[in-house]
Structures are given as C-alpha cells and as structure tokens.
Amino acid sequence: MIVGVGIDVVPVARFAEALDRTPGLIERLFTAAERRTPSGGARSAESLAARFAAKEALAKALGAPGGMLWTDAEVRTDESGRPRLAVTGTVAARADALGVRSWHVSLSHDGGIASATVIAEG
C-alpha cells in the first residue's frame, strides 16, 4: 500500500549559490557520506541538488511535518548505482508512525534542474 508520494525540483545554479553564500549549510543538509562520491571525491552541485530534492520529496511523502532533521534522511547509492533512502531519528519516527516499511526513490538532473520522486510504501 502506498502511504505517500512526493516530488520536488531544484534549480541547480540557485542551490549551488545558496551553498556558497551560507557557511555550514552543506553540513546541515547532508551527511558526511552524502557529500562524497563512492570514490571519495566531492559531489557535484547537480548531485547534491538531486539529493536535496529527494529529501524534500521524502518530507512531502510523509505529509511535510515540521521538526524533521535533514540529516536524518540519507540518500545512498547501492552496488548497482541505484539511489536508496536510509532514515533515522526524526524521519524514521514519522515514517514508523505512518506505517512506512520501504522507500522508492528516483533522482535526475538535466538542463540545470535536479528532480526527485519518493514513494513511501507500507
């Protein structure tokens, strides 16, 4: 059963500018693992914007409640390169309250726009 669906789009240039002008923003939005590629390099603005879109989409799939921490949702990449969501803390508590048992996530970026769709399944 689908508990919720969320979608979000992020203009990459505007997101990159926000990261540049706001000290500490990247640490408030992303875990250390999210900020790095599997090979250890820094993620591109496109990749980070898509991950931010996924977090926004996840919040929408959960009904957009306040009080959730950005770093309590982590976008990971599995062995095949597919994105996966891992939730802890405030996000996990909301998901548990709604009966969410699994997540489906899709990320994309093209033409200066990053997007994500999240489906919460019970």
Q: Which two tokens stand for residue 45?
A: 């603005």
Q: Which residues contact 90 (CB under 8 A, 6 or more apart)?
A: 67, 68, 69, 72
Domain of 77, in residue numbers: 2-121
pLDDT single digits (tens) 39-95: 889 999 999 999 999 999 999 999 987 888 999 999 999 889 899 999 999 999 999
Q: Parallel, antiparallel, or unpaired: how do β-strands 73-77 and 83-87 relate? A: antiparallel
| CATH, residue 54 | 3.90.470.20
Q: Full-prediction pTM beyond 0.85?
A: yes
Residue that has been written with the tokens 């062995």 in this structure: 79
What residue spans of the chain are helical by DSSP H?
12-21, 25-29, 45-61, 89-98
Residue that has been written with the tokens 């990459």 in this structure: 12
In whole angstroms, what is the distance from residue 78 CA to residue 102 CA?
15
pLDDT single digits (tens) 94-121: 999 999 999 999 999 999 999 999 999 9
Tally of domains within the chain: 1
Question: With contact defined as beta carbons under 8 Å apart, do 34 and 51 qualify?
Answer: yes
In whole angstroms, what is the distance from residue 110 CA to residue 31 CA?
24
| 122 pLDDT above the threshold of 90 | yes
